[in-house]
A and B are shown apart, each in its own frame.
Chain A
Amino acid sequence: MFTDDAGKGGIAAGGPGNSAESNRRTGGDLVQLVTPGGERVSHPEFDPWLQDVTDEQLGALYEDMVVIRRIDAEATALQRQGELALWPPLLGQEASQIGSARALRDDDFVFPSYRDNGVAYCRGVNPEDIVKAWRGNALAGWDPYTVNVATQQIIIGAQTLHATGYAMGIQNDGADSVAVAYFGDGATSEGDVNEALVFAASFQAPVVFFCQNNHWAISEPVRLQSHIQIADRAAGFGIPSMRVDGNDVLAVMAATRIAIDRARHGGGPTFIEAVTYRMGPHTTADDPTRYRDANELEDWAAKDPIARLKSLLERKGLLTEDLETAVAAKADAVAKALRAGTINMPEPQPMDIFKHVYSTPNSSLERQQDHYSRYLASFGDPAEAASEEGAR
């Protein structure tokens, strides 16, 4: 029945001109509401979506961004200190993650990639749970249903299919929540993402495709991957899209609100391209100086998302000493807790591997579990084993 609905009212009905109907934009100019210098620019289409944002909320967005940058820096340091096996830094993408995550309702469901640690933080994931999988202490750091965030997807773009499927489930339930898939520019070249876009359009599923175009798919620049703007790829699937300044937290928030509202009210999927920049390496095991021009990095440093919001707050007279002190204290506290939580994290036990395989008892698994525990017992005391070896 949903395909019928799409046929009647959806944009699949009659060629590309459909995107011009109503207020749906497709790609188009980059929307920016705050300039790199911190000046608020008015925008007739986007401004109405931000009318309820209070001064206090602006301060909260600032705090969020500072805190997740701090989590990111601390986790990077923890990796260098041998406490984490790997870490994918999000430096530079704070506005994209905070602006979008703060536009969601608690019952909306997020399908993140491995870099969306700021999104996880906003959804209430404990920072030490964010790093748990990167330490190798668990296969996943949290229970998706307590925070409505799926575990971070390592396979590039696979989560867009999960999000689309979840959104189709929302339709079947008759609920009004929305699924949000987070992915990067590189993922848009993956088959999974293209399939997800096809299904989302066909079924007019309530899903938002939130693409952080951070310009680099590891070492592959976006200009090699796509000869058109990433946002314009959505048009080929009949999905309306927006292209926003991903370093402008307000532009990102407004765009996400527009997309979420459309999905919530039966308007189907929307694709958002947040144009941002990965200031750090792909992961801590990467050396971006091998492929990236230092000038490019410098250009983007001038568009820093946190500095930009800070300037806006300053212009509005909101950047009080109290705010700065409180934000710094919060960042310090979160970093400290993250560090302590990480280095004192209990080691996983061998038998833990059987814990989350089935939600109900399974006799076959129980047999394996029994065999494995007896196998482990055959080693006896490890210290004893070592001396036996020494004696030989």
Chain B
Amino acid sequence: MIKEFRLPDLGEGLTESEIVAWKVAVGDTVALNQIIAEVETAKAVVELPSPFAGVVAALHEQPGTVVEVGKPIVSFEVEGDDGGPAGSETAGGAGADAPAKREPNLVGYGAVLENSGRPSRRARSFAAPAVAVAAPAPVVEPVAPVVEPVASAPAVAEALPAAPVSAERPRSTPPVRKLAKDLGVDLAAVTGTGEHGLITRDDVRNFVGGGDLPVAPQDLAGVSTQAPAQGERETRTPIKGVRKFTAAAMISSAFTAPHVTEFLTVDVTPTMELLAKLKASRAFAGYKLTPLTIVAKAVLIALRNHPTLNTRWDEATQEIVQYNYVNLGIAAATPRGLTVPNIKDADRMSLLELSTALTELTDTARAGKTAPAELSGGTISITNIGVFGIDAGTPILNPGEAAILALGAVRKMPWEYQDEVALRQVMTLSLSFDHRLVDGEQGSRFLQDLGAILSDPGMALAMV
């Protein structure tokens, strides 16, 4: 016999749900409790287990449709009649026109069957009043509740202390999370294009299509943030996620590319003055300019004369790849660990464009939304350790790149200036390069040029 399954109220008082996907087709044999569909309610995406063992006779609703609770969604051909839900047999044609007995829709509320309005009471049997007065129907005007604007509300919200927990997960909807789960995508790595950064189905699909990052997506969220219990003398955290990926990359880089690091300390006072001037200028109003912006531009200019620092050692083909473009990587500390997203074709950008790209890149990285495409294909990198107040370091190359520049903190130091000791703004540049690709001479000259630009930005004119 045919049995119908009507959409139940899946979560305490819901009136409708959306069919997300069918897991069975007409003609399929299904077992009891076999998952037949995914349904999204206002609360969650849930899987519907089949209430019968039998053969799917009809699917009444298409994926994507919002179905009212109580409407049949699927029919089964079931052998015999052993213990199906009471009242779930198909009503056949009879139900359509006969004024159906109000049949409770399984359990829960929200089920609205037609013809089931208020049950009418039988007229009482006392005598009717002698004169029936045709009283005008009372007009009920809906009165809108007056809501006083709560002026203090925003202030209260601001006064609340910042939540101590880690960054919030990107916004998405249950079906999208389900899709991401099915495709093995970590939503934290997806950039949302919907309203308020909402991640859509297309975002997830595009991510899968465009992603070529060799990171197991699930791993990205893997760094444990558990606080050590009191008295515990060591805390063991499983190595996974970004930490694991970073470690593998660092090992492969450190043990394949022979690193050389050189340092140069420069009086960057003129650069800082230039920065102040640019910030005040109308052209740069509203843009975020930092020493990093200028150094990045300087690197791009200096690279023109020293292209060997923008190369790659291709072990497999035994070739040196010379890039005729620059994808400038910027090391970023993110809530999930170190990532090095890069700015594509940075060499073709004006200072304005570069500053915009840098701001976007760091904001995206900090929000944990860097797309894999932005993480791959870098050709040279910069790491800004100065923001931590550090002067110099020996950075390890981003795998596959020939050079990485570490930017130290800008400090006021007593420095030789016009043959006298003056308080100047000084910065140390640390440049690591792959000695297979770059000789000491080339590396040194590049660093020298970089220093020349930063200590006298006008020198850039001589290099372009």
Contact = CB atoms under 8 A, between A and B. Distances in A.
A232 B174 CA distance: 38
B102 A382 contact: yes
Interface in B228-244: 229-230, 240
B85 A83 contact: yes
A240 B8 CA distance: 47
Nearest to A293: B221
Interface in B1-28: 5-12
A284 interface: yes
Contact of A378 (B33, B107, B122, B165): B122
A389 interface: yes
Contact of B43 (A74, A287, A388): A287
B184 to A, nearest CB: 11
Q: Which of B33, B124, B222, B224 has the most CB of A within 10 A?
A: B33
B6 A82 contact: yes
A136 B107 contact: yes
Interface size class of A (residues with CB under 8 A): 35 or more
B9 A85 contact: yes
A382 B102 CA distance: 8
Contacts of B47: 80
Interface stretch (B113-121, B154-162, B199-207, B370-378): B113-121
B210 interface: no
A85 B9 CA distance: 7
Given A378-B122, A380-B122, A383-B99, A284 B222 contact: no
Nearest to B226: A223
B240 to A, nearest CB: 8
A228 B231 CA distance: 12
Nearest to B86: A343
Contact of B99 (A74, A77, A378, A390): A390
Contacts of A223: 226-227
B301 interface: no
A284 B100 CA distance: 31
Nearest to B69: A82
Given A343-B83, A378-B122, A379-B122, A80 B10 contact: yes
Nearest to B218: A294
Interface string A73-115: 1100101111111100000000000000000000000000000
Given A81-B48, A83-B106, A294-B221, A344 B86 contact: yes
B105 A82 contact: yes
Given A285-B11, A287-B44, A382-B101, A82 B107 contact: yes
A81 B221 contact: no
A85 B107 contact: yes
Contacts of A390: 99, 115
B59 to A, nearest CB: 16
Contacts of B230: 228
A222 to B, nearest CB: 12
A285 B10 contact: yes
B49 interface: yes
A81 B99 contact: no
B145 to A, nearest CB: 28
A284 B49 CA distance: 13
Interface string A367-385: 0000000000011101101
B51 interface: yes
Contacts of B307: none
A86 B12 contact: yes
A102 B44 CA distance: 36
Contacts of A77: 33, 49
Nearest to B166: A293
B121 A379 contact: yes
B221 A379 contact: no
B259 interface: no
B393 interface: no
B115 A284 contact: no
A45 interface: no
B211 interface: no
B12 A81 contact: no
A80 B49 contact: yes
B85 A343 contact: yes
A281 B45 CA distance: 12
A60 interface: no
B297 interface: no
Contact of A81 (B8, B86, B104, B121): B8
Interface in A261-295: 281, 283-287, 289-290, 293-295
A172 interface: no
Interface string A223-240: 110001100000000000
Nearest to A377: B122
Contacts of B174: 287, 289
A82 B45 contact: no
B108 A386 contact: no
Nearest to B118: A389
A340 interface: yes
B177 interface: yes
Contacts of A123: none
A23 interface: no
B291 interface: no
20 contacts: A74-B33, A80-B48, A81-B5, A81-B8, A81-B85, A82-B7, A82-B9, A82-B85, A85-B108, A136-B107, A286-B43, A287-B174, A295-B240, A343-B86, A380-B122, A382-B102, A383-B101, A385-B120, A390-B99, A390-B115
Interface of A: 73-74, 77, 79-86, 135-136, 223-224, 228-229, 281, 283-287, 289-290, 293-295, 339-340, 343-344, 347, 378-380, 382-383, 385-390
Given A286-B43, A289-B174, A383-B101, 15 more contacts: A73-B33, A82-B6, A82-B106, A85-B107, A136-B108, A229-B229, A285-B11, A289-B44, A289-B181, A295-B221, A295-B224, A378-B122, A378-B124, A385-B119, A386-B102
